[in-house]
Structures are given as C-alpha cells and as structure tokens.
Amino acid sequence: MQRMQRLLGCLLAACLLLPATMRAQSEPNVIDEVVWVVGDDPILLSDVEDYIMQAKASNSPIKNAYCTVPEQIAVQKLYLHQADLDSIDVTETEVMASVSARIADFIQVYGSRENLEAVAHRTVPQIREMLVRSERDQMRIQEEQRKLTEGIKVTPAEVREYFKNVPADSLPQIPTQVEVQIITSQPQPTREEVERVENQLHEYARRVNAGEIQFSTLARFNSEDEASANRGGELDYMGRKELVPEFSKVAFSLNDPKKVSKIVKTEFGYHIMQLVDKRGEKVKVRHILLRPQIPDSIFVKANARLDSIANDIRAEKFSFETAALQLSEDKDTRLNNGLLFYSPHPRIPPTSRFEMKQLNQDIAKIVDTLKVGQISKAFVMTNEKGQQVCAIVRLKNRINAHPANTTDDFQTLREIVYQKRCEEKLEKWIREKVKTTYVRIKPEWASCNYRYEGWIK
C-alpha cells in the first residue's frame, strides 16, 4: 500500500519526450489514443505520459515505464470504481488544503513561483488544476484502501511472533526521530481589509444580478481559487459533506440560477456563489473567492509576540506546556502540551515520534538546527491547510538512528506488520478484481510482462 500511495503522490508534472521506441509503436500524426480500457474507463496514451512526467519530476523514475504505468493506472481505476460503489467521497476542504500545501512545498523546493513554473512548464493555476483532480482521486483511493483493510488488527503477540526469529542484524533500522512541541499564532487581516473584500464581492453580485456581466466572466478574471477560476468558477457536483459546512449550507439553499448568494466566510476566505445545477443530493455551483491580504507588519508583530513568549519560557516564568495551553492558537496541540502527533493509520494509535521527512518542511528546517530542550525563534510556516501562520517550536526529544527493538520501537514494528497484512489483503483483492473486470488492451501493449495475471482475456 505504501508503494501505491507513493506512486499516487507523484503529482508535479514536467516535460518528458516520448521515447522513440514507443513513438514507433504509435501511428503517425496520432495526437492521442486509447491504449487500455478498464470496465467503461479508457486509459489514454496521454494519461500514461502524464504519469511518467509526474514520476520523473518527483525524482521517482519508473523502470520499464510504458509497461508498468498503464497497469498502475488500471489498478487505480479498479479502486476508484469500487469507491463509487461504496459511495466514498472526500470533502473539497480536504482536497484544497492538501493541494495548497503541496504547491507551497513545491515553491519552497524550487525557490520561487517562477522557478516552479519553469520546471513544470505550466503556470501555478494549471498546476493547481492538475493537482486538484489527482489529489481527489488519490484521497478517494486511500479511503477505499482503508475500507478494504478495516478489519485488519495486529496484536502485540503477533508482532512478537513476527519478529521472534528475525536475526538482530536483519531487524529494520529506525531512522532518527524527533518529538516537537509547537505554539502558533494566526495573523488576521484588518477590519478595513475585510470590508474592502466584502464591498468588492457586493459589487460583483450587484453587477451579475443587474445583468451587466456574467458571473463566470467575473470568476475567470477575479477569483483567487485558481483551480476553478479557469472554468468560470465552476466546481464539480458535490455532496453536503464534501464542502466546508458554511459553504455547503448556502450552496444547498440556492434555488434561482440567476441570483447570486450572500457572502460566505470560510477558512479559505470570502465567497459568493451562483447555482448551476442540482442532481439529487449533489449540487454544482460556481463561486468567486477573495482572500483579505495580511500585511507583513502583522506577521512581524505576531512573530515579536511569540519571541517574547519564548524568552519568558527561557527565563522560567512559565513552562512551554503552560504557554501552549493558554496562548497557542493551534487547536490540535494546545490541549496536549503543544506536542505534535500524527497517526500513520486510523487503526494504529498516534505517535509523537516523527522522522524528519514526516514533519512539515518549514518545521523540519528549524528543528534540524535545535538541540534537545531548545526553543526556536519565531518563524512563518505554511500549515496543512495551506495557511501561513507564525510559530515557535521546542525540540523535546531526539532519538538517534538505531536497530529496532520491541521495547523501544514496538509501535514502529507493529506498523511494519500492519502494513504487510494490508498489502497482502489488497494484493488478493486486486488479483480477484482483475479476473472479474472487463479489460481490453491495444495489441501492441499486450506483450508486456504485467504484474497481475488476467488483464489479457
């Protein structure tokens, strides 16, 4: 499952020429073609090439790609078809937050927005639109995988039995891990800036309601939701739980496609929307998103406040734990002494031990410079929702790399056993699903040595 998720996570595109050997197999002057059909879903040559581009750009080149990739896409389609049958949806909030965080990571890795666009040969709005589609599919696949493996449990006895006869020199090596505490402050826009945004949206609504201009035209040129702006602000058909509650409530209350909604505030900013269509329990709307701008001076002020808090902790006026409880705006950690946690799987208890690669990149860069017990200077980071917040962190503990043992690393070893059980269950499901699914493969693509038997009927 980890391997599949890693491949699905390769979401940044870059230019890659189609190898001459494969071009020779394609007909001259064919821009695109269907190479596989899985159930009712075609796999296009362009799908395969995009997948290879994404893997290469993420430094994850795929061996024998023009045989391996179509099969990987076919497996994804099996999962997505099952997700449809199981009515598995993900919220637009989750998708957009993940996409925003990924783009922020990409910009950080490549140094600037301009560098990212040069490497990807796409604009940031185009990258965002590509990531939205891919991320939604990825998240639905992961939810389906969780559903298929939800009955799997691993007991302490199974973990001890699994590793009982493993030689000490064959036990997994545990990378360096850290435990980190955090206190955050969320800078807020001024009332004047909020009023400016609200007045702008009121003016947009007035112009549309008066018939002066199309809503889609305004969205295309003014909406800050880059993923939907190119489509005139249109979102896909969404269920109530797929949208943030504030947005969902208004979207499902709309009845007149010619009228514009009231202003809606969400964690993403301020919206107005217009009904496009309703189908049963799903609604399609177009929207315009504007985000109030927060001046650098407010971030400077928030950082200064956090630095003052850090100095008081160093002077032992109060503890980091007390400061986190009383002063932090991070609702996920302030009741837990500011300690960061994550859960590798819903059915495995959360852990406070992070490998450096598992930390938010902004936090990881700071933690890497700290000694145990030290508190950082205040810094600006992008959180999992794609929002910029100010933070200070304390390195509570560092566990150096070492061979795993059942006393100190039981949870890591249990995760290894759990992963293996999940992979075995999913492998069995895929093999059975392939046998009962209609598949057609273009003849020149049928000579590959595929991993799963039964694709070629």
Reply yes or no on whether the pLDDT at 11 is more than 50: no
Q: Structurally, how many domains does the chain consist of? A: 3
Whether 251 and 301 share a structural domain: no
Q: Clarify whether residues 135 and 253 are in a common domain.
A: no
Mean pLDDT of 207-224: 95
Q: Is the pLDDT of residue 156 over 80?
A: yes
What is the C-alpha to C-alpha distance for residues 147 and 144, in angstroms, rounded to an integer?
Answer: 5
pLDDT at 261 over 60: yes
> What is the pLDDT, as a whole number, of residue 347?
63
Could you list the beta-strand ranges (E) of 189-337.
238-239, 264-266, 269-279, 282-290
Report the pLDDT averaged over residues 372-392: 91
What H or E segment, with its residue span, contains residue 441? Answer: strand 439-441
Q: Output the domain CATH number for residue 436.
A: 1.10.4030.10
Query: Which pLDDT tens digit goes with each residue over 127-144?
Result: 887 788 888 899 999 999
Same domain, 309 and 427: no
Q: Which of 134, 113, 94 is nearest to 12 (CA)?
A: 134
Spatial distance between the Cα atoms of 354 and 283, rounded to a whole number of angstroms = 40
% of the chain beyond a pLDDT of 70 = 91
Mean pLDDT score, 244-270 = 93
Q: Which range among 85-99, 208-222, 320-334 shows the weakest confidence by mean pLDDT? A: 85-99
Quick one: 317 and 286 in the same domain? Answer: no
User: What integer pLDDT is reported at residue 348 of this predicted model?
Assistant: 67
Answer whether residue 9 is part of any domain. Answer: yes
The confidence band for 126, taking pLDDT boundaries of 50, 70 and 90, is: confident
- Mean pLDDT to the nearest integer, 35-43: 93
Same domain for 299 and 373: yes
Q: Which of the residue ranges 155-159, 225-229, 244-248 would you say has the lowest mean pLDDT?
A: 225-229
Residues 392 and 431 in one domain: no
Amino acid 58: pLDDT: 66
Q: Which residues pair with 38 in a beta bridge?
A: 41, 439
Same domain, 101 and 239: no
Instruction: Say whether pLDDT at 15 is over 50.
Output: no
CATH value at residue 270: 3.10.50.40
pLDDT tens digits for 323-377? 999 999 998 899 999 999 987 666 667 889 999 989 998 999 999 999 999 999 9
Residue 287 confidence (pLDDT) above 90: yes
pLDDT value of position 208: 96
Query: Is residue 143 in a domain?
Result: yes
Helix/strand/coil for 446: coil
Tokens of 94: 């989750």
Same domain flag for 392 and 362: yes
Same domain, 203 and 122: no
The pLDDT of 145-174, averaged and rounded, is 89
Indicate the residue among 290, 309, 339 that finishes a domain: 290
**How confident is the model at residue 209, as a pLDDT?**
94
Please check whether residues 33 and 105 belong to one and the same domain.
yes
For residue 168, being part of any structural domain is answered with: no
Q: Looking at the structure, do residues 63 and 136 belong to the same domain, yes or no?
A: yes
Mean pLDDT score of the chain, rounded to an integer? Answer: 87
Q: Domain for residue 96, yes or no?
A: yes
DSSP letter, residue 336: G
Contacts 24+ apart (CB under 8 A), 28-35: 33/442, 34/442, 35/70, 35/441, 35/442, 35/445
Q: Are residues 8 and 145 in the same domain?
A: yes
Convert the pLDDT of each residue in 46-55 to its tens digit. 989 888 877 7
Domain closes at, from 238, 269, 290: 290
Percent of the chain with pLDDT over 90: 57
What's the pTM value of the predicted model, to 2 decimals?
0.60
Mean pLDDT, to the nearest integer, of 410-435? 92
Rounded Cα distance between 136 and 159, Å, is 34
Give the residue numbers spanning the domain of 248.
191-290
Name which of 206, 308, 302 is nearest 259 in CA terms: 206
Residue 338 near residue 309, CB atoms below 8 Å: no
Of the three residues 259, 290, 321, the one that is the final residue of a domain is 290
In a domain, 30, yes or no: yes
Please work out, in degrees rounded to the nearest 5, the angle formed at the alpha carbon of residue 189 by the alpha carbons of 95 and 181. 65
pLDDT for residue 20 = 30
Q: Specify if 63 maps to a domain.
A: yes
Produce one character per residue of 423-442: b if its CB has 16 or more CB atoms within 10 Å, e if not: eebbeebbeebbeebebebb
Task: Give pLDDT, residue 316.
Answer: 96
Run of H or E residues at 448: none
Structural domain includes residue 26: yes
DSSP secondary structure string for all residues of 360-427: -HHHHHHHTTPPTT-BPPPEEEE-TTS-EEEEEEEEEEEE--EE--TTTSHHHHHHHHHHHHHHHHHH
H or E element at residue 184:
strand 177-185
For residue 3, give both structure tokens: 């391997």
Answer yes or no: is 319 within a domain. Answer: yes
pLDDT value at 242 more than 90: no
- Identify the helix (H) or strand (E) that includes residue 135: helix 124-148
